[in-house]
Chain A
Amino acid sequence: MKQTEPDNFISIGLSIASGEGKVQTEVESLKPSRDLTGAENIIAEEITGRHSGPRSNKIANSNTGYGCDDVAVDTHREPVVARRKNASTQLTESFVDDLKEKELAAADGSADILDLVLQDMEFDEAYSLYQSMQQKQARSAVEQLQRVQMLNSQYCMSIQGSQADSNSPPAGAQNGLDAIVDAFSSYHSQLQNNAGEHIHHNLPSSIDQQASIEKNKPSADSSSNLLATDMANSANGSHGGLKTPRGDDFDQFFSNSESNALSKFLDNLANPLGSFNPISFYPSMPSYSPQHISELDLHTMKPMIPTPPSRHSPQQSMKAGPVGSEAADLDGSRNAKYGAFPHENAIHPLSMDSYNRRANDEVKNELTEAFSHPPSQALGETGFGGAHGVSQVPTPSNSRQSSAYALSPKRGIEDVESFEGSMSPSSTSATTPPSSPPSKRHRRTFHKPLLSLEQKRLNHSCSEQKRRQLCKLAYDRCLRLITNEDDYKESNHEEKKKSKRRHLTKEGLPNLSKYTALSRISNEIMKIQAKNEGLKKRLNMS
């Protein structure tokens, strides 16, 4: 894991450098209706989430897996901070993941062939499903965390309504960036100081410090309050989530672990001091959170920016837990692409909005790690005896997640798959107009080759049968026209001994060879034509 992560980052950077032109074209093609500045803003928003997501995820993984990985993490963090100051590089970065996914999906040959293979091999199918579900879990978790942070920042903004950035958006964005940089540097120092420590104790303090630097103390408090209050509500939400239908593809595979997780969760509901993080009940259960993506899409997509009504967004995002990154960003990019926030953009200035998102993404980085182990934190504070048993639960999922991410060549395909998969529940479960068309399109491409192969064969055989049937009918009709059944009945008795061939077929038609039948047809035509000619001649003569 230590070795593969830097490789991933290097490859990302290289693809950033190489795919710049492509990115620009894609930006324009994706947003033809908007002017480029608006697109830049949106992309800047996207990129913060998109890139901070996987990194924070990886950092969390490395920290949970190995306590002293922080130095390597810092080397990745600093380029991130440097990049955030540059808008153009943000632009390019924002679509690097997209490009990688698309290129991988196209170049490998890939999703289609993979699908074909998976259809045949059950184990491989199950394995890929499993991996894709893990990816989905990761994404959904970060998406939900992002929403929490968005809410937190909005809450903070509403409380400290006299902030300078709300009055002057560009300056506010700059301030936000500075604060972000400060937060990152402080986080670096924090990480370096606590390099040897376990991450469970490290992260809560780090997020507190970061909040104080950003003057977002109320937000952190509010987030914790929201966490505490909404965890009770999250029980209902999780029940609904568990019972709502999921993507049809994954039902049979994950039903057992799902039920196990549900039973665990119910047990913990009885114990109020127990873990509040439902995702911890899904150590090997990746299909839990994608559902919440759909629910979040449905319920919180609109009220995400307006502060008060979106209080149930954290309730679900708290359950998200440790892992995941890109689904949130994909979702955000989707919304940006399909113009899901037109009125919000109208209400808030674009730069203001982008600042909010950016700050939220920064908060999200910290929150991702901070909330990755809420059980350990809560239990550590309460001094509960069974802290170790619960706190160890998220770790395997993290390590597995990181291993899944370490498979860099396969990751693109899996991302595409999980992207589709994460989209599919939203399309099936409800009617969000912006998100349903792309998901349907993806699904169609997903299943197209299989169906077309089957359908091709079926159609071909059907049409061939139809053609032969028509041919046979026409041939029989011709035979009926040219044969006199009486002839055969008379001649049958005479010639029975001579040849076996002179029989009538089942349909009462003479058993003629094709050549003789056709020649008889032509003879018949000629005979009648000659008769008609003679009759016409007689008519003309008279």
Chain B
Amino acid sequence: MSDDDSKISKRRQTKKACLSEEQKKAHHIASEQKRRENIRSTFDKIVALTPSLNEHENRSELNILTKSADYIEALKQENDRLVALCRGRDIEVPSKLKYNGPGPEKMD
């Protein structure tokens, strides 16, 4: 019995290994496609978020990265300007509305 089981398991292992090769391949292809799709979706998101980028430009990585970086810098400058304006008008500025550098929000 144990011999049979071991044989079966062996056969299964070989079969599994054989299948796993194809499965690996398919999985790899699928994950690669997923990754590319994710990157594409994020690019599309950035394009949608950035006003200086229109839909026709969503295939140029260089364009997207440059313009999005420009836009982020412009947003930072605008944030500084708005904070200064608020302070000038004696408006209380909550710290969460002030730009504190990149990265996720640190919840106090």
Contact = CB atoms under 8 A, between A and B. Distances in A.
Contacts of B50: 525
A523 B73 CA distance: 14
Interface string A470-492: 11001101100111100100000
B68 A478 contact: yes
Interface string B57-85: 00001100110110111011011001101
Contact of B82 (A518, A523, A532): A532
Contacts of B79: 528, 531-532, 535
Nearest to B90: A542
B83 A524 contact: no
A519 interface: yes
Contacts of A470: 62
A521 B75 CA distance: 12
Contacts of B82: 532, 535-536, 539
A471 B102 contact: no
A534 interface: yes
A515 B39 contact: yes
A478 B42 contact: no
B75 A518 contact: no
A487 B103 contact: yes
Nearest to A541: B91
B12 interface: no
Which of A528, A539, A542 has the most B CB atoms < 10 Å from its CB? Answer: A528
Interface stretch (B2-10, B17-25, B92-100): B92-100
A529 interface: yes
Which of B39, B102, B105 has the most A CB atoms < 10 Å from its CB? Answer: B102
B56 interface: no
A483 B83 contact: no
Given A471-B61, A535-B97, A538-B93, A515 B35 contact: yes
Interface of A: 467, 470-471, 474-475, 477-478, 481-484, 487, 513-515, 518-519, 521-529, 531-532, 534-536, 538-539, 542
Given A474-B69, A522-B49, A528-B79, 11 more contacts: A474-B66, A477-B65, A481-B73, A484-B101, A484-B103, A524-B102, A526-B49, A532-B78, A535-B86, A535-B97, A539-B86
21 contacts: A474-B61, A474-B62, A474-B66, A477-B69, A482-B103, A484-B101, A484-B102, A514-B39, A515-B38, A518-B46, A519-B42, A521-B46, A522-B42, A522-B46, A528-B75, A534-B97, A535-B79, A538-B91, A539-B82, A539-B85, A539-B86
